[in-house]
Amino acid sequence: MMRKNTLCWVWAACMAALMTPGYAQQATNPLIFADVPDMSMVRVGDTYYMSSTTMHETPGVPIMRSKDLSNWEIVSYCYDRLAEMDEMNLNNGKNTYGRGTWASCIRYHNNRYYVSTFAQTTGKTYIFSTDNIEKGEWKRQEFAPSYHDHSLFFDDDGRIYLIWGGGKLNIVELKEDLSGIKPGTERVFIENAGAPAGKNLMLPAEGSQLFKVNGKYYLFNITWPRGGMRTVIIHRADNINGPWEGRVALQDRGIAQGGLIGTPDGRWFSYLFRDYGSVGRIPYLAPVTWEDGWPVIGVNGKIPDTLDLPASKGLKPGIVASDDFTRKKNSRDLPLVWQWNHQPDNALWSVRERKGYLRLKTGRLDTEFTQARNTLTQRTIGPTCAGETSLDVSGMKEGDFAGLALVQRKYGLVGVKYENGVKRIVMVSAQTNKPEVIETLPLTGKVVYLKATCDFTDRHDVADFYYSLDGKQWKKIGNQLHMEYSMPHFMGYRFGLFNYATQQTGGYADFDYFKI
């Protein structure tokens, strides 16, 4: 009887603990195991919004929404197309890999949302604004020059600023209508923002994000001491003109670059990101406490693995999603999880021409995958994931190449190539920076199933490719791809659906679905 009562007590205690808020069902770090770098956050009421960087992908500057800081979904983009130029359209051998728009800043001011960013590709700074961040249209303003890694800041006295730069940070005042800068207002903001981390810096302080809390100004930056790791620097001041005092705020696994976000119940968190190999730069969240007027990030100088926030329900379908390409009459052509590699030629793709299929048509000749237009992409996710598609090749023409890719500079892909009157299943690897055909197999039917798997566990960073003739029995093809995050592309690996011509135009490839 004693043993039975003891077991009942233990069971009851365990159940009570599991139902206690914050005990078992907690959020965990990383917050999002996918490439979501350069985050900027704002809270409006009980809703959080986050902007991020996707560079050469379009539509650009994704906006994500959350009610609990744990579960996020993409709700809009700031622009569909950045600029009509060869670099953005993959024309004449040009591209803008690793450039496009970078680190954005999201703000809410006088019942209006603002997102600012900059583009090395165009040499301009952009400010987008809307009164409905989820459904409204964005007003777009642009001006030169391109203010690197800037923070947009609306001060209480009505003045509007941009703080930008690396090492030596600068500040400039904007015109009231945000159409450009006020002449004569540019000045040095902080002479050497990386100084709190020492003199021997591999990366000077950059990634500015400015906040005002309880009347004090707080500036977040990232720096990187040689022989050390990515480091968070915070400066504070009572006046925006200074004087500023700075300190090292965090050195933990290279998790850095971000800022502050407060909750409706008065808690504070810091959002940051970490370089995590080929999956990309992944977001972390850390509790913040306040000591002597300074924000203190983490617990005992470390980012905790668990957070007193609701558990994540997973990244599907908010960040990535499967797609059967079936569209209702008034539905979007493409869900927001999809982005194009550079800007698409919208005349050469459709989800309406053949019901339940994505059709990618050829309209020009290309010789290499990374210069081919109209590759449709979405993120890979960790720690492991797989992407699968069904490809109907009956519309392909001689010289066409269509299939499923893992997109980065050292890419890998599996697809169907139509050469010399024969269609073959092909695995290509750019592991050595030069694409090589690793294996080919004859294809006699009209439909083939393709799959790519990714393992990012502990930065294992390997991918394998498969094909199937019936969608059930899978066979590996080619060799394992050792994925590598490269600076020229500056993005985590993405799944991509592609079709391009090498000999004649007018062919097409039909994708029945994409499953992740």
What would the pLDDT profile of 438-490 be if each residue is shown by its tens digit?
999 999 999 999 999 999 999 999 999 999 999 999 999 999 999 999 999 99
Q: Average pLDDT, stretch 122-148?
A: 97
Closest CA to 208 of 256, 155, 150, 161: 150
- Report the pLDDT value the prediction gives residue 16, as an integer from 0 to 100: 40
What would the pLDDT profile of 300-341 be if each residue is shown by its tens digit?
999 999 999 999 999 999 999 999 999 999 999 999 999 999
* Domain final residue, candidates 267, 291, 310: 310
What would the pLDDT profile of 85-117 be if each residue is shown by its tens digit?
999 999 999 999 999 999 999 999 999 999 999
> Do the domain assignments include residue 372?
yes
* Secondary structure (DSSP) of 486-500: -TTT-S--EEEEEEE
Locate 7 and state its tokens: 């077991």
Same domain, 254 and 174: yes
- Report the pLDDT value the prediction gives residue 10, as an integer from 0 to 100: 41
Report, in angstroms and rounded to the nearest whole number, the Rg of the chain calculated over CA atoms: 25
Same domain, 352 and 460: yes
Task: Write out 160-179 in H/E/C secondary structure.
Answer: EEEEEEECEEEEEEECCCCC
Same domain, 399 and 300: no
Distances from the Cα of 459 to the Cα of 279, 456, 484, angstroms: 8, 5, 10
CB atoms within 10 A of CB 274: 20
- Report the pLDDT value the prediction gives residue 200, as an integer from 0 to 100: 93
**Backbone torsion region of residue 471, taken as left when φ is above 0, otherwise alpha when ψ lies between -120 and 50, otherwise beta:** left
* Domain final residue, candidates 310, 327, 353: 310
Same domain, 280 and 400: no
* Domain final residue, candidates 264, 292, 310: 310
> Do the domain assignments include residue 8?
no
> Do the domain assignments include residue 322?
no
| Sign of the alpha-carbon torsion through 164, 89, 32, 226 | negative
Measured distance CA(86)–CA(342) in Å, rounded: 10
Same domain, 395 and 282: no
Confidence of residue 25 (pLDDT cuts 50, 70, 90): confident
- Report the pLDDT value the prediction gives residue 15, as an integer from 0 to 100: 41
Same domain, 129 and 276: yes
Q: Average pLDDT, stretch 133-140?
A: 95
What would the pLDDT profile of 213-231 be if each residue is shown by its tens digit?
999 999 999 999 999 999 9
CB atoms within 10 A of CB 448: 24
- Rounded to the nearest 5°, which phi and psi values hold at 447? -125, 140
Distance of CA 210 to the CA centre of its chain: 22
> Do the domain assignments include residue 61?
yes
- Report the pLDDT value the prediction gives residue 242, as an integer from 0 to 100: 94
Distances from the Cα of 64 to the Cα of 70, 71, 317, 386, 422, angstroms: 11, 10, 12, 23, 45
> Do the domain assignments include residue 251?
yes
Report whether 167 contacts 204 (CB < 8 A): yes
What would the pLDDT profile of 36-74 be if each residue is shown by its tens digit?
999 999 999 999 999 999 999 999 999 999 999 999 999
Confidence of residue 299 (pLDDT cuts 50, 70, 90): very high
> Do the domain assignments include residue 503?
yes
Same domain, 377 and 286: no
Report whether 163 contacts 208 (CB < 8 A): yes
Measured distance CA(37)–CA(54) in Å, rounded: 8
Same domain, 452 and 346: yes
Position 360 pLDDT exceeds 90: yes
Q: Average pLDDT, stretch 188-199?
A: 95
Q: Average pLDDT, stretch 363-372?
A: 97
Average pLDDT over the chain reads: 95
Same domain, 288 and 397: no
- Report the pLDDT value the prediction gives residue 359, as an integer from 0 to 100: 98
Measured distance CA(152)–CA(85) in Å, rounded: 27
Position 363 pLDDT exceeds 60: yes
Measured distance CA(66)–CA(283) in Å, rounded: 14
Number of domains forming the structure of the chain: 2
Q: Which helix (H) or strand (E) holds 17?
A: helix 2-19
CATH number at residue 176: 2.115.10.20
Same domain, 378 and 233: no
Position 18 pLDDT exceeds 80: no
Position 201 pLDDT exceeds 60: yes
Same domain, 76 and 193: yes
Same domain, 245 and 343: no
CATH number at residue 381: 2.60.120.200
Position 9 pLDDT exceeds 90: no
Position 157 pLDDT exceeds 70: yes
- Could you give the angle at the alpha carbon of 358 between the alpha carbons of 505 and 93, nearest 5°? 45
Burial environment of residue 367 by CB neighbours within 10 A (0 to 12, 13 to 18, 19 or more): exposed
Q: Average pLDDT, stretch 130-140?
A: 96
What would the pLDDT profile of 271-283 be if each residue is shown by its tens digit?
999 999 999 999 9
> Do the domain assignments include residue 495?
yes
- Report the pLDDT value the prediction gives residue 216, as an integer from 0 to 100: 98
Confidence of residue 179 (pLDDT cuts 50, 70, 90): very high
Confidence of residue 4 (pLDDT cuts 50, 70, 90): very low
Q: Which domain holds residue 202?
A: 26-310
> Do the domain assignments include residue 2?
no
